[in-house]
Amino acid sequence: MKKAVVSLLILMLLLPFASFTAAQCPSEGHTVVLKAPAVSRTAEGELVGVATDFVITVAPGSGHVYVETWPLAEVDMQASARLAAQIAGKVLGVDMSKYDVFIQIKADSPIIGGPSAGGTMTVGIIAALEGWQVNPKVMMTGMINPDGTIGPVGGILEKAAAAHDVGAEVFLIPQGQRIQYVEETQKREIGGIVEINTQTKKVDVVEYAKERWGLQVIEIKDIYDAVYYFTGHRIPRPEAPAYVKIDTSFLRDDALKDYENTTAYYQETLERLKKSDVNYATYTTLMEALNEAAGILNQSKSALDDGRYYTTLSKDFQARIIIRHVDWYLGVKGPEDVQKILKTVDSQINASERIVSNVTIRGTTMLQAVAAAEERVEQAKSILDEAWKYYYSNDYWNAVGDAAFAYERAKTAVFWARLGERFAGNEVISREIVRTTARDYIDSSNLIVTYIESMYGDVIGNDLTQSIIQAEQYYEDGKYSAALFTAMEARVRAEVFLDTLGIDNQTILLDKLQGMKNDARTAIGLAQSQGVTPILAIAYYEFAESYEENGSPEDIQTAMIFYMYAKETAGLFLSAPPTPVSVPQDNTTGIPQIVIPTSTDSKTATDSATSTSKALSDGLVIALLVGAFIVGAAVGKKL
């Protein structure tokens, strides 16, 4: 008996270490085995590449995604796995609610990088759904984005080394990441004094891996490329229509009226300041602020003349915050006046919320606009909360500044709600459709931000983390639109950070910018092909162009962010089910050979980058407002 008990205990201890292929999986369905590179951190804090085994089974079920890891990863992979299953179903036109996905992951050491395995998991799920074999000599790294593109990741060099160590011949990386920047530290002792020099070195991963290991590194754009390299099967990409209309003429009348009203408000406030009895210091500060507003209004007029109507509205919005700050501050004689202003703003927010919440949503275009309106109501509330904090700390200057911002933000919520009504369709859509989308964005955003912190430490500050926390709070409060947009914006900023990390070469930034611009244009075209006018995406696209023209590195990055906003919002709430694709049944037997597409097949969006870089001239960064006015006119603030 004692011997039997000992044997049972030994068996129980060994079970966690048993081969993953021996784990219990459904008898139906298909299983594929892949390897993916990951990054682990040594006891000394050094990042090293490690190979990770993925065993992916897809079988008839009820839409569940099960993930098992050994050892436990630093970053939860569940959200990444769930997104991978969604994208696999979308690409193939398969209803994933009829399948269960089982993903078993094993590494030799704790790994960093739930998001970086998203592309690999998506490939595995697609292959299992179709019963395709995968090439064991191919490995990849890259996040999977909701639109099927492969997102940027860190640790490319370390992962390339890991791929070589386990016998890979082809290593797939996200498009635009072949150039990596590494820090080299050199120590030199002179007369007993140790001199340490750290230099940043540019490494071409494609050339480095080929020369050192004979490993072929290939940049890929999306999951369609990835599936082809792994399986030899070519899944047709969704194609945007040949003609894509991107203009904001639907905002022309709004922009003309708004510019006239804002300019008149500026003149009234300027005259009021000149006639006021404020002291010299206050007069000088307020006049500097109005001069800043005048400069922004000049930009608004230029945009208006160029037919960029959303940019006009956004510039008016920035200027109006400053003007209202000056206007209201001129009337402040004591704390009771500030309190009255804050109560006025509160009334405006409540009025805006009533208008937005009582709108009946009809059609996807209107849903996008109303979701934007709901987000702006919640932003106004948060800004007003900050204003009250300033008030109770006797900082009336900043209290009025935030109050002006909150007031104008609340009014833009009504603007978007009314704009949505112009594009109302016939189908009534429940607001609950936003809930699921918001949850997905929060999870994926949190995953990416945590991944960045795991890889690089606190290099992005706590702004993005706070945005995720705020999105979670909105979600818990039932404010799903605000949660969605807050999380989406955090994720976009995180992706731009990863995609531009260490890059100080403007040509490379322009290449990436052009790719993002083309992606945004394609997303808008796809939405239009489904009968949706993505008004928010079109507006963001135009706003990005206004920064792209300036040409400075800061403006280029701002343009990147807004192009990515455009791409993301273009696809929001498109409820039309994907059309099942007819997949060519080539290479259906045996392990597919490694086939490199021709230059025509793998043509990237950066082909026109050279002409773009010539067209862009170096511009001045828009000056930030002095003192307390920075809150109202931060670069990139949108209507």
pLDDT at 183: 72
pLDDT at 219: 94
List, in sequence order, the alpha helices (H) in 331-395: 335-357, 364-392
Give 258-280 pLDDT, tens digit per residue.
Answer: 999 999 999 999 999 999 999 99
pLDDT at 614: 33
* CA 248 vs CA 286, 502, 526, 533, 577: distances in Å: 34, 35, 18, 11, 28
pLDDT at 632: 32
List the single range of 61-65, 143-147, 407-411 with lowest mean pLDDT. Answer: 143-147
The yes-or-no verdict on residue 340 having pLDDT over 60 is yes
How far does Cα 504 stand from its chain's mean position? Answer: 21
The yes-or-no verdict on residue 373 having pLDDT over 60 is yes
SS3 (DSSP) at 33: strand
Determine the Cα–Cα distance for residues 441 and 572; give it in Å rounded to an integer: 11
Asked if 431 and 482 touch (Cβ cutoff 8 Å), the reply is: no
Asked if 414 and 349 touch (Cβ cutoff 8 Å), the reply is: no
Which candidate, 80, 92, 93, places its Cα nearest to that of 142?
A: 80
Give 215-248 pLDDT, tens digit per residue.
Answer: 999 999 899 999 999 999 999 887 777 888 899 9
Determine the Cα–Cα distance for residues 219 and 242; give it in Å rounded to an integer: 26
Biggest alpha carbon–alpha carbon distance for the chain: 101
The yes-or-no verdict on residue 420 having pLDDT over 90 is yes
Which candidate, 254, 265, 171, places its Cα nearest to that of 220?
A: 171
Which range is most confident: 13-27, 97-111, 114-128, 141-155?
A: 114-128
Band of pLDDT at residue 434, cut at 50, 70 and 90? confident
How far does Cα 624 stand from its chain's mean position? Answer: 25
The stretch 193-222 carries a mean pLDDT of 87
Determine the Cα–Cα distance for residues 246 and 195; give it in Å rounded to an integer: 56
pLDDT at 431: 80
Please give the sequence-ordered ranges of beta strands (E in DSSP) within 142-253, or none if there are none.
143-144, 150-151, 170-174, 179-190, 193-204, 216-220
Structure token digits, residue 54? 């993925």
Which candidate, 151, 181, 217, places its Cα nearest to that of 501?
A: 181
Give 576-613 pLDDT, tens digit per residue.
Answer: 444 444 444 444 434 455 554 443 343 333 333 333 33
The yes-or-no verdict on residue 60 having pLDDT over 90 is yes
Asked if 382 and 470 touch (Cβ cutoff 8 Å), the reply is: yes
- Number of Cβ within 10 Å of residue 61's Cβ equals 18
pLDDT at 335: 96
The yes-or-no verdict on residue 6 having pLDDT over 50 is no
- Number of Cβ within 10 Å of residue 255's Cβ equals 24
SS3 (DSSP) at 578: coil
Determine the Cα–Cα distance for residues 611 and 293; give it in Å rounded to an integer: 34
Which candidate, 541, 456, 526, 557, places its Cα nearest to that of 149?
A: 526
Structure token digits, residue 574? 């498109």
The stretch 400-404 carries a mean pLDDT of 97
pLDDT at 151: 85
Band of pLDDT at residue 191, cut at 50, 70 and 90? low
pLDDT at 76: 58
Radius of gyration for the chain, computed over Cα atoms and rounded to the nearest angstrom? 27
The stretch 82-104 carries a mean pLDDT of 91
Which range is most confident: 455-459, 569-573, 595-599, 618-622?
A: 569-573
Band of pLDDT at residue 20, cut at 50, 70 and 90? very low
